Amino acid sequence: MTEDGPAVIGWIETVDLPDLGLRDLKAKIDTGARTSALHAHDIRRFRRGDASWVAFRADTGHGLSDDPIEARLIGRRAIKNTSGVPETRLIVRTRLRLGDRLWRIDLSLSDRTNMTFPIIVGRAALKRHDIAVHTRRAYVATPNPERTAP
């Protein structure tokens, strides 16, 4: 905690994943979820040198990305889906920008077709960053894109 206390964010914020070329994603800050998840389609694993990589198309909240996104695969994890059923998901590590802060997170690639948000930011991504989530307010740390649209 800082002298001023933790940074407060809303339960909905706009985030960027600059390493993946994704900007202005409407994110649900979900402390009930351990791992963050990004809506991904057409996931394909491949090798680059000695490392495992994935290529996928991401849902930006405005449709699927035109070009495949590539990221180094850091592993696979059993993660409970919204129904509580464990499923094995591919995990990538990338940077998350929320407001003026930028840090690394682990991100599972998941089919979130029936979900409202293309990305959820789980509690593991918030841990050790001195952040508190305001459960009744949205867009505390970032502008509301619906209010700033031309």
CATH number at residue 129: 2.40.70.10
Parts of the chain with a pLDDT under 50: 1-2
Looking at residue 65, its pLDDT comes to 74
Residue pair 29/99 in contact by the 8 Å Cβ criterion: no
Return the closest-CA partner of residue 119 out of 92, 140, 141: 92
Question: 143: Cβ–Cβ under 8 A, 6 or more apart, which residues?
Answer: 14
Q: Is the Cβ–Cβ distance between 10 and 29 less than 8 Å?
A: yes
Residue 149: inside a domain:
no
Report pLDDT for 21: 93
The 3-state DSSP class for residue 125 equals helix
Q: Which domain holds residue 84?
A: 7-143
Look at the chain and report how many structural domains it folds into.
1
Q: Give the β-pairing of 101-110 and 22-30.
A: unpaired
- Residue 150, in any domain of the structure: no
In a domain, 2, yes or no: no
Whether 39 is in a domain gets the answer yes
How is residue 31 written in tokens? Answer: 């402390």
Q: Which whole-number Å values give the CA distances from 140 to 14, 19, 27, 137, 147, in the listed order?
A: 10, 24, 13, 7, 13
Residue 10's nearest CA partner among 95, 122, 132, 96 is: 132
In a domain, 1, yes or no: no
**Residue at 64: amino acid letter:** L
Beta bridge partners of 37: 108, 120
